[in-house]
């Protein structure tokens, strides 16, 4: 077993190996990051035996981000509030769970000069990623966050997690007006489902609204194309993906690579090259 890896099911199309192997190579560290398919019934055994099998750290993706919390020795405050772990570190032989999606998302917005403080946000989706995004926006001073989700109960759960200034709606109530930032966090539009959008139209979109889709494959979802055709600025989730990975790696090796623009650019270049080839399209 590799010392660093991502577990999930499926994991075959993950670009995490590109992120982490680029970092290890850049820093001259002798590690290799691998993917490992882990079925739900294997999760407990994998986590419990991770340290004795010589592991140093792992990332967690669908469908284990929540369940893995039951098997680690400790949790960061953020991961506990969000209710999802995407990174596990070994410290003194014990396992600690973190969530780097939230900070990854904020770093993306900041790098694109999108102002969060006092902003009115509309968020489509209420899954694991939405929880991290909503938490991060609230923590960074968003004025209001309206959550639109197919399953109203899940939107309500996100509101309960945050407490104030967050409002739950069903997806059918969505209108694009009166917001400064509009974000899709659903998986609708993800490759190969590239002709689908979570909403039928963005008719009422204000010209200044920044429109974000945390999907990065395809690089421009139908949702982003709809917004772009109205003249709005649009952003995909590639930067968030890179930042969450750099933050995870920093937790493992105790460095601050996330501040390195040169390394970020190198990772971006390698991912774009990979996404261009057949494996992902």
Could you list the residues that contact ligand NDP (CB under 6 A)? 62, 101, 104, 125-130, 149-151, 154, 185-188, 190, 214-216, 237, 240-241, 244
Q: Determine whether 269 is an active site residue.
A: no
Q: 159: how many CB neighbours lie within 10 A of its CB? A: 18
Strands (E), the chain: 4-8, 33-37, 57-60, 74-75, 87-91, 94-98, 120-124, 144-149, 166-170, 181-184, 210-213, 234-235
- What is the closest distance, in whole angstroms, from the C-beta atom of residue 44 to ligand NDP in the complex? 21
- What is the closest distance, in whole angstroms, from the C-beta atom of residue 207 to ligand NDP in the complex? 25
- What is the closest distance, in whole angstroms, from the C-beta atom of residue 278 to ligand NDP in the complex? 20
C-alpha angle 205/211/217, rounded to 5°? 135
Residue 203 has what DSSP assignment? T
* Closest CB to ligand NDP among residues 54, 249: 249
* Closest CB to ligand NDP among residues 89, 188: 188
Paired strand residues for 121: 145, 181
Q: How far apart are CA 41 and CA 35, in angstroms?
A: 18
Alpha-carbon dihedral angle through residues 202, 206, 208, 213, given to the nearest 10 degrees: -20
* Closest CB to ligand NDP among residues 11, 214: 214
Residue 57 has what DSSP assignment? E
Q: Which of 25, 40, 44, 65 is catalytic?
A: 65
* Closest CB to ligand NDP among residues 51, 111: 111
- What is the closest distance, in whole angstroms, from the C-beta atom of residue 214 to ligand NDP in the complex? 4
Comparing every residue's Cβ against ligand NDP, the nearest one is: 127
Report, as residue numbers or ranges, the catalytic residues. 65
């Amino acid at each position: 077993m590799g010392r660093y890896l991502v577990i999930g099911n499926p994991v075959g199309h993950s670009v995490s190996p590109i992120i982490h192997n680029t970092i290890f190579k850049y820093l001259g560290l002798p590690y290799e990051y691998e993917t490992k398919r882990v079925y739900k019934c294997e999760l407990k055994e994998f986590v419990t035996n991770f340290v004795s099998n010589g592991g140093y750290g792992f990332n967690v993706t669908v469908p284990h981000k929540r369940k893995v919390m039951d098997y680690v020795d400790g949790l960061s405050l953020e991961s506990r509030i969000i209710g999802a772990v995407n990174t596990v570190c070994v410290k003194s032989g014990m396992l600690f769970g973190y969530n780097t999606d939230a900070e990854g998302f904020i770093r993306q917005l900041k790098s694109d000069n999108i102002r969060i403080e006092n902003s009115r946000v509309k968020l489509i989706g209420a899954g694991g990623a939405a929880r991290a995004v909503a938490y991060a926006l609230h923590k960074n001073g968003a004025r209001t966050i309206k959550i639109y989700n197919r399953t109203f109960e899940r939107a309500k759960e996100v509101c309960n997690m945050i407490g104030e200034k967050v409002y739950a709606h069903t997806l059918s109530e969505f209108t694009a007006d009166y917001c400064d930032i509009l974000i899709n966090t659903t998986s609708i539009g993800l490759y190969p489902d590239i002709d689908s959008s979570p909403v039928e139209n963005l008719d009422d979109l204000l010209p200044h609204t920044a429109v974000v889709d945390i999907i990065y494959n395809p690089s421009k979802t139908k949702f982003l194309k709809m917004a772009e055709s109205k003249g709005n600025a649009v952003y995909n989730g590639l930067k968030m993906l890179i930042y969450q990975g750099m933050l995870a790696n920093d937790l493992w090796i105790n460095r601050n690579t996330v501040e390195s623009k040169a390394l970020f650019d190198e990772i971006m270049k390698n991912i774009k090259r990979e996404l261009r080839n057949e494996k992902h399209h």
